[in-house]
Amino acid sequence: MIIKNKLSNLEQNITIENTGFWRQKVSDYMQLIKVRLSSLVVFSSVITYLTAAQGKVNWFEVFILASAGLLVTGSANGINQIIEKDYDKLMTRTANRPVSTGRMSVTEAGISSFLMGIVGVFLIGFYLNQLSGLLALVSLLSYAFLYTPLKRVTPISVFVGAFPGALPTMLGWVAYTGKIDIAAIVLFTVQFVWQFPHFWSIAWILEDDYKRAGFKMLPFNPGRTRKTAFQCLLFSLVLIPIGILPTVFNISGVVAAVVAVFGALYFSFYAYKLYKSCELTDAKKLMMAAIIYLPIVQLFYLIDKI
């Protein structure tokens, strides 16, 4: 009886340990692919596909675009963490990432990221069209192997990173239409310009962390200055005319233009506050304004055209 109880306790302990192992493994992979960030990227791609479709939606293609897009973005994020594993250890925000802590080996992360990238690009190219597959590949490679290493070299990395950051929007349009036309370029431009005040507000908040890792993310040195804040304000104001281009080119309607203008004014208001104060609290407000602006404006580009 005593032996049976000991065996039962041992089995329970093993079960608990296995459950804990798999829970941690799932958590590590969610961190590796940055699931929340990847989901936002996929949202831009899918909503642009739906805008191009104007109600004539192939939901199988939407599923492929979303799932394969998540794989491609996850692959880029995984490669990013492999390259930056030694620098992630130096930053509070990233110190607990699976590769930097050693919970996940470089080999495991590398194989997983490679497979995600290959499968994601193949699915997009095979089930949607080859041009969208090529855009997915360019986005993956430019983010992982251009933007990532440049972060420790020059602030121009933000400009370089804005291209793969905006390509999912173009990809979504091309996934439906099969071509890069003026509409694809216009929607790409909106997200491209939006990224600068968005990235810089984040970099302002994380400047101390970035300095410890040697990342040069803010446009001027020293970083948290009125000169840098002016750049945020300038690009926020540029969004006012840029945001109405989809209406000018008949991608969306007048309501979307109004929303885009008011959204950019709202965005610019917080950029102006940062310019006046150069305070961390205003950088956080600008970051939140950026997060709110893009999905709402993209949603109105869609619903104002259907």
Task: Tell me what pLDDT residue 55 has.
Answer: 80
Q: Which of 180, 211, 240 is the last residue of a domain?
A: 180
Segment 201-229, tens digit of pLDDT: 999 999 999 999 999 999 887 889 999 99
Same domain, 17 and 158: yes
Same domain, 302 and 200: yes
CA atoms in the 13 A half-sphere facing the CB of 26:
5
- The model scores a pTM over 0.85: yes
In angstroms, the CA 15 to CA 252 distance is 55
Same domain, 249 and 284: yes
Instruction: For residue 34, give its domain range.
Output: 13-180
77 with 200: CB under 8 angstroms?
no
CATH number at 78 reads 1.10.357.140
In a domain, 216, yes or no: yes
Report the alpha-carbon angle 144-149-155, nearest 5: 115
Same domain, 166 and 205: no
Percent of the chain with pLDDT over 70: 93
Task: Tell me what pLDDT residue 8 has.
Answer: 54
Q: Which of 113, 148, 180 is the last residue of a domain?
A: 180
Segment 250-276, tens digit of pLDDT: 999 999 999 999 999 999 999 999 999
| CB neighbourhood size of 21 (10 A) | 10
127 with 67: CB under 8 angstroms?
no
87-107 CB burial, b ≥16 within 10 A, e <16:
bbbbbeebeebbbbeeebeee
Task: Tell me what pLDDT residue 108 has.
Answer: 96
Determine the angle formed by the axes of helices 254-277 and 182-205, rounding to 10 degrees. 20
Number of structural domains the chain divides into: 2
In a domain, 7, yes or no: no
Task: Tell me what pLDDT residue 20 has.
Answer: 74
Same domain, 192 and 281: yes
